Amino acid sequence: MLVRWNRLSAKEAAEEISPCCGAVAWARELVERRPFADESSLIAASEEIWFRLNADDWMEAFSKHPRIGERKAPEAASTKSASWSAQEQQNVAAGRAALQLALTNGNREYEEKFGRVFIVCATGRSASEILEILHRRLQNDAATELREAAQEQNKITNLRLKKWLAT
């Protein structure tokens, strides 16, 4: 996969990698660093780029995620990103009705407080675990929460890069 991707035009390479993160600046900078020899060098570069981006870039990536517990991805999300979100949230989808309602209410409270969708790496986590994380993070101040959301987005991006490489 990397050998082929390393050879694509910059435009094609950015379009192909963008569902892994959703921030245009991240995809552009990652493409500019090609060629990559292996998964670990790709992920290291991805993390370095991600944590140097500004809050607007982070918000752009966050905007491509559906709310936790929702099945429909936002219109801004690519088809691949929406598919990955559904896979990542499969444990959440299995939650009971009361838990789903609590997540819906928590999402609304989070969005009212922070002005964006709640970002958490849902892979392998149950709905109740995610609800606990959501309640804890609602106690954060805006700056702390932005950093924590960025760290969660980085985890999601790393998992998606690995999925992408496996295709």
**Among 65, 67, 125, 160, which one carries the catalytic annotation?**
65
Average pLDDT, stretch 35-41? 98
In this prediction, residue 71 has a pLDDT band, given cuts at 50, 70 and 90, of: low
Q: What is the pTM of this model?
A: 0.86
pLDDT(144) > 80:
yes
Q: Quick one: pLDDT at residue 85?
A: 65
pLDDT(76) > 90:
no
In this prediction, residue 17 has a pLDDT band, given cuts at 50, 70 and 90, of: very high
Give me the number of domains the chain comprises: 1
Output the CA angle 18-151-157, nearest 5 degrees.
25
In this prediction, residue 84 has a pLDDT band, given cuts at 50, 70 and 90, of: confident
Q: Quick one: pLDDT at residue 92?
A: 58
Distance CA 134, CA 64 (A): 19
Taking all residues of the chain, what is their mean pLDDT, rounded to a whole number? 91
Distance CA 163, CA 122 (A): 15
Q: Quick one: pLDDT at residue 69?
A: 79
Average pLDDT, stretch 66-80? 74
Find all residues with CB under 8 Å of 134, minimum gap 6, and list them: 68, 103, 106, 107, 110, 118, 120
Average pLDDT, stretch 153-167? 97
Q: Give the CATH number, domain containing residue 150.
A: 1.10.3330.10
94 or 159, greater pLDDT = 159
Q: How many CB atoms are located within 10 Å of the residue 92 CB?
A: 22
Q: Percentage of residues in the chain with pLDDT exceeding 90?
A: 78
Find all residues with CB under 8 Å of 20, minimum gap 6, and list them: 46, 157, 160, 161, 164
Active site residue 135: no
Containing domain of residue 119, as a range? 2-166
DSSP assignment of 47-64: HHHHHHS-HHHHHHHHTT
Is residue 17 within 8 A of residue 31, CB to CB? The reply is yes
